[in-house]
Amino acid sequence: MGTAEGKKRRPVLICCGVLVTVIVLLAVIFVALYFTLFQPRSPKVVATAVGAEIWPKSNGGGAQDLNLTVHVDVTVNNPNYAAFRYGDVATVVRYHGEDVGLSVVPAGEIGPRETQTIAAAIEVDAGKVATIPYFWVEFPTGKLPFQTATEVAGKAVVLGTFKIKASSEVACDVTVQLLPANATSECTSTVHIGR
């Protein structure tokens, strides 16, 4: 009786052994793919002040009666094999630490392994700028120093399971030349990755 029972168990043991081997092999392949192909990488974010527009308001004649718009391009490169969905992109313009402009670009998505440029046009409150004491010293030189701060936050979902959260702050020192209207910038980026 012992040999007949042993012969019945042998196919079950072989089947279980093959099943365990396949599961282990699939797990090894999945882990290898995750750490090579699907490993989350931080998005690369670069901001550039690309220009400025200055024109007089229809009813004014002084420096505080100017319309000033600063154009900032934020380029995001998504190196992941999953789309990167980002929330609203807010860009704040400051003049000597005071908030003088804000632009919000609506949420969107960047496809896998794509690069996208998000353009923001920030209208600066010239009246508020003119109330800051530094303005009357800097205005006659034809150059005004601003700072911009842009934040991009979002997530990528890899294989429908793993969520990779990432955010990036980009700070720029922007010099606006009044005549001719132009802007130059120097920017630094900070990226945070979370799960």
Residue 158 lies in a domain: yes
At 155 the pLDDT is 85
User: Is residue 12 included in any domain, yes or no?
Assistant: no
**24 in any annotated domain:** no
Whether the CA torsion 155, 157, 158, 162 is positive or negative: it is positive
- The CATH number for 164's domain is 2.60.40
Domain total of the chain:
1
pLDDT value at residue 6:
63
SS3 labels along 20-47? HHHHHHHHHHHHHHHHHCCCCCCCEEEE
Q: Within a domain: residue 26?
A: no
What is the pLDDT confidence band of residue 93, given thresholds at 50, 70 and 90? very high
Asked if 68 and 127 count as a contact pair (C-beta separation under 8 A), the reply is no
Q: Is residue 72 part of a domain?
A: yes
Is the residue at 19 inside a domain? Answer: no
Model pLDDT, residue 82: 81
Quick check: 128 and 98 in contact, CB under 8 A?
A: yes
Interval 40-83: pLDDT, tens: 677 777 777 777 777 766 665 555 566 788 888 888 888 888 88
Higher-pLDDT residue of 15, 192: 15
Task: Give the pLDDT of residue 2.
Answer: 56
Does 59 map to a domain? yes
Q: What pLDDT score does 146 carry?
A: 92
User: What is this structure's pTM?
Assistant: 0.71
- Of 97, 68, 92, nearest to 182 by C-alpha is 68
| 119 occurs within a structural domain | yes
Higher pLDDT, 106 or 50: 106
Pick the closest to residue 101 from 70, 133, 72, 57 (CA basis): 70
| Average pLDDT value for residue range 114-132 | 89
Q: Report residue 165's pLDDT band, with 50, 70 and 90 as the boundaries.
A: confident
Structural domain for 178, as ranges: 43-193
The residue-averaged pLDDT of 2-12 equals: 71
Give the pLDDT of residue 21.
93
> How far is residue 24's CA from residue 17's CA, in Å, rounded to a whole number?
11
